[in-house]
A and B are shown apart, each in its own frame.
Chain A
Amino acid sequence: MMKATEKITALQATALLMLAIMPTGLLYLPAIVTKIAAQDAWISVLVSLLLGLGLAFYIGYLTLQNPGMSFIRWIESRLGRIAALIIGLFLTKYYVSVSAVALQEFSTFIADEILQRTPVFIIVSIVMIVVLYAVYHGLETIARVTLIVFFLNVVLTFIGLLLLGKDLHFAYLLPVGEKPVPVILKGSISPFIWLTEVAVLLIIGPFLNKKQYLMRTSVTGVLLAGTWNVLLVMLAILIFGPKLVQLVAYPSFAVVSLVEIGNFLERLEIVFISLWITTMYVKIALFMFAASHCLNDLFRIENKLPIQLGLGLFTLMTALYSWDNTADFSEFMRLAGPPHLFLANIAIPLLLGIALWFMKRTAHRRGEQNDG
């Protein structure tokens, strides 16, 4: 049984949570938030971090209620087969579509920046093959890879920050607080939506080897991802100013491409793009794992490979054929993305919490009656 053998450490889980959020946010966040809040974008992101921490506490709390069963089994044991079926199927669909979206973002980026002439189908297939290989080997494998990717990214990001020191213009942040509070709050919506992906902890939480670290994992994961977002948005503004950030499609990498030290250390963005690609693999693998885990558990499937292959193919096709062009895709992201994430990551956990509390209370009362 998977449940008995697979165990991940708290550190691995924290890294997983961070990498569930960071890779896609890195591409789009600076442009989205500065478009709304201009030079005050970093305040928006900071607000989103606070909101995200609130959610992280709640998700941590909810996962702690789970005695160590896999998520779907736990729902089934507490709320019955029907509830498990609804939640399980919805979450499977959700994780598949998050993976498809991430895959689409990934392939768009690669096609934009590096491989303009290669058919997207090839790019997407290569990514999917690697991801399925990881998913086949299970969460433990993904978690181990995650840790390597995580440290590599943290170290090189700090080096990148040092190299950029002389290109920073702190005056670009002024005047602070020019935008009114509602605008700043509006700007914090999309970074917050990104942070809600911490809810994947409900699935991976039961794999943690030491349950007492659950809360810490949840909060640290969001703290890391949120801080990363703040730094990223700030950096983009400090270098390009609030206006140019909106023009550049991928400010995070454009920022690095400015580094020119002597005549030998330049065009570093390819180093950072390569690193970021590793994080993207982790993200997609994690969500594909979550999807296949939900589905397998729901129908108690012992032979997982066919399901994983099927889901992989399905995700791949979704990514390839759902959107005609980038305009179509960004329209989808703007209109359909936030409600979808809200539903899966906030509404479902909240309903779940309420249902569990309710069940507990009635069970408790019934217990009292039996005693009496």
Chain B
Amino acid sequence: MTGKMVRIALVLALAIITAGCWDRKELNELAITSATGFDVQDNQWIISYQVIIPSSISSGMGGAGSSSGHSPVTVYSTKGRTIREAVAHSLLESPRRLYFAHNRVMVVSERAAKKGLSPILDVYFRQPDSRETVNMLVTKGSPKRILEQLMPSSRISGQGIQEIISLQSENGSLLPAVKIYEYGSSIVGDARSALLPEILVSGSPDVTTTEQTNKTSQPSKLRLGQLAIMKEDKLVGWLNHRESLGVAFITNKVNTVNIAFSCEESGDKNSTFELLRSKTKVEPKQGDGGGFTISIAVDAYGTLEETECPLDLHKPEVIAGLEKQLAKEIEGSIRAALLASRRHKSDVLGFASVIHRKFPKQWEAVKDEWDDLFPMVEMETKVSVTIERVGVSNKSFKELESPEGE
């Protein structure tokens, strides 16, 4: 009996000392990064890391006021001729080994994006500890500045940035949240183009100390900006919000979005529609001359959120009029998206794969000249909007205000 006990004890002891073998990772030896930045200068990579300081986030988690003045993160950069060389150089200055498994976002500078992002993708797909679900963002300035910016509502700003972009992508549809594997698969796809959202610090000076986050209002904050067009892995241009919404409609990526529109043929935008569901059918056609026409049919449903027009919303013809106005608005953004992508000669609308899927043989013939052919592709749009509800008020306040109002 005692022999058995001894043996069990031995096995347990063995289990303790052999765990992880040579690869054991002690939490207090790791520098856990929550965000990384990639910049290029004089042909050298400058990699920035936002590293979590465990001791300052473990105390007073959540309560903003309870922060003891310690910054929750520290940001530093290293330089190298290759990405991993730069990362290795961090060992010259950091007491802890960088650990990327909890990295949430990657911020790439415009300079690096213009040079091409394939080295970054290679590192991400080759290194087992970095995850493929990291969100990618582009910034026009220095990525380090983005990483240094603190957020009052989220202690670890890397995680905060990720929350902003996924919230926007799920509820706003203006900018997509792009994960590194999604970027990779669209860059190697037929169109060889992809989109990346922009992040910027708006305002000055930067919020980089916890004293500043303790105030109720900050002089600057992190904001999402435009949408970068990446063509064959290089940044070629930008899309504004109207254009990027159009792209989202064409590629069927709209979740919910608020659209401001005008209830009359012309005039200021005075009403808002909350689009709740949308479905886009994309159908390519080939004309007699061999040119392609893409027909886009959008079906959108949602609720009227606000209107300033004196209208009787009980009447079907009034609703039909509003729906027509909305359709015009959406069509406009789709048209704008087409023009923008023609302007940049880059097929961010995914027409290449649509044609490839429908006409594989013809695609084989045109795929090498696609960049030249793409701007000549015609587009037909048909947008149908259904206003399903008008909210809990039947008439506009404006109508009741007027003296003739009932």
Residues on A with beta carbons closer than 8 Å to the beta carbon of B356: 175
Q: Contacting A175 at CB < 8 Å: which of B21, B132, B357?
A: B357
Would you call A122 an interface residue if the criterion is a C-beta within 8 Å of the partner chain's C-beta atoms? yes
- Shortest distance in angstroms between A128's beta carbon and chain B's nearest beta carbon? 15
Interface residues in B7-30 (C-beta closer than 8 Å to A): 20-23
Distance in angstroms between the alpha carbons of A126 and B393 in the assembled complex: 71
- Quick check: is B101 within 8 A (CB to CB) of the other chain? yes
**B22/A257 in contact, CB under 8 A:** no
Contact partner, B21, options A122, A244, A266, A267, Cβ 8 Å: A122
Cβ contact of A115, chosen from B22, B131, B357, B358, cutoff 8 A = B22
Given contacts A171-B357, A244-B181, A244-B188, contact A266 B23 (CB under 8 A): no
In the complex, residue of chain B having the shortest beta-carbon distance to the beta carbon of A266: B133
A325 at the interface (CB under 8 A from B): no
Enumerate A248-267 residues with CB–CB distance to B below 8 Å: 248, 254, 257-258, 260, 266-267
Asked if A113 CB lies within 8 Å of chain B CBs, one says yes
How many angstroms from the CA of A117 to the CA of B101 in the assembled complex? 17
CB within 8 Å for A241 and B189 given contacts A175-B358, A175-B360, A257-B133: yes
Interfacial chain B residues near A274, Cβ < 8 Å: none
Do A174 and B357 contact each other (CB < 8 Å), given the known contacts A243-B185, A260-B133, A267-B101? Answer: yes
In-complex Cβ contact of B132 among A114, A174, A178, A258 (8 A): A258
Taking residues whose C-beta sits less than 8 angstroms from the other chain, chain A's interface range is 20 to 34
Q: Which residue in B23, B131, B188 is a CB contact (below 8 Å) of A118? A: B23
- Cα–Cα, bound, A119→B22 (Å): 8
For the complex, is A247 an interface residue (Cβ under 8 Å from B)?
A: yes
Q: Is the CB of A116 within 8 A of B23?
A: yes
How many chain-B residues does the 8 Å CB contact rule pick out? 21
A185 to B179, CA, bound (A): 35
The reply to whether the CB of A112 lies closer than 8 angstroms to some CB of chain B is yes
Let me know if B158 is at the binding interface, CB within 8 A.
no
Q: Is the CB of B185 within 8 A of A244?
A: yes
Least distance between A357 CB and chain B CB atoms (Å): 47
Cβ of B353 under 8 Å from chain A: yes
Among residues of A, the one whose C-beta sits closest to the C-beta of B102 is A267
Within the assembled complex, what's the spacing in Å between the Cα atoms of A149 and B358? Answer: 43
For residues 93 through 141 of chain A, which have their beta carbon under 8 Å from a beta carbon of chain B? 112-119, 122-123
Q: Which one of B21, B101, B188, B358 contacts A241 once the chains associate, using CB atoms below 8 Å?
A: B188
- Chain B residues contacting A258 (CB-CB under 8 Å) are 132-133, 179, 181
Question: Is B128 part of the contact surface with A, judged by Cβ < 8 Å?
Answer: yes
- The reply to whether B132 and A254 form a contact with Cβ atoms under 8 Å apart is yes
Residue from B125, B185, B356 with most neighbouring chain A CB atoms (10 Å): B185
Q: In the complex the two chains form, what is the Cα distance from A118 to B25 in whole Å? A: 12
Q: Chain A CB within 10 Å — which of B101, B133, B181 has the most?
A: B181
B131 near A267: Cβ-Cβ < 8 Å: yes
Contacting A at CB under 8 A, from B333-376, are 353, 356-358, 360
In the assembled complex, the Cα of A244 lies from the Cα of B186 at a distance in Å of: 9
Once the chains bind, are A113 and B128 in contact (CB under 8 Å)? yes
CA–CA, A113 and B101, complex, Å = 12
Which residues of chain A come closer than 8 Å to B133, judged between CB atoms? 257-258, 260, 266
**Does B302 have its Cβ within 8 Å of any Cβ on chain A?**
no
CA distance A119 to B179 in the complex (A): 34
Are A244 and B357 interface neighbours, CB within 8 A? no
Q: Can you name 23 A-B pairs with beta carbons within 8 Å? A: A112-B128, A114-B23, A114-B128, A115-B20, A115-B23, A117-B21, A117-B23, A118-B21, A118-B23, A122-B21, A122-B22, A171-B357, A175-B360, A240-B181, A241-B188, A243-B189, A247-B184, A254-B181, A257-B133, A258-B132, A258-B179, A258-B181, A260-B133
> Which residues of B are at the interface with A, using a C-beta cutoff of 8 A?
20-23, 101, 125, 128, 131-133, 179, 181, 184-185, 188-189, 353, 356-358, 360
Q: Closest 10 A-B residue pairs measured CB to CB?
A: A174-B357, A118-B21, A118-B22, A243-B188, A175-B360, A117-B22, A178-B360, A115-B23, A241-B185, A244-B185
Instruction: Using A122-B22, A257-B131 as known contacts, list a sample of 20 further A-B pairs with CB atoms less than 8 Å apart, ordered by residue number in A.
Output: A113-B128, A114-B128, A115-B20, A115-B22, A116-B23, A117-B22, A122-B21, A175-B356, A241-B188, A243-B188, A243-B189, A244-B185, A244-B188, A247-B125, A254-B132, A257-B132, A257-B133, A258-B132, A266-B133, A267-B101
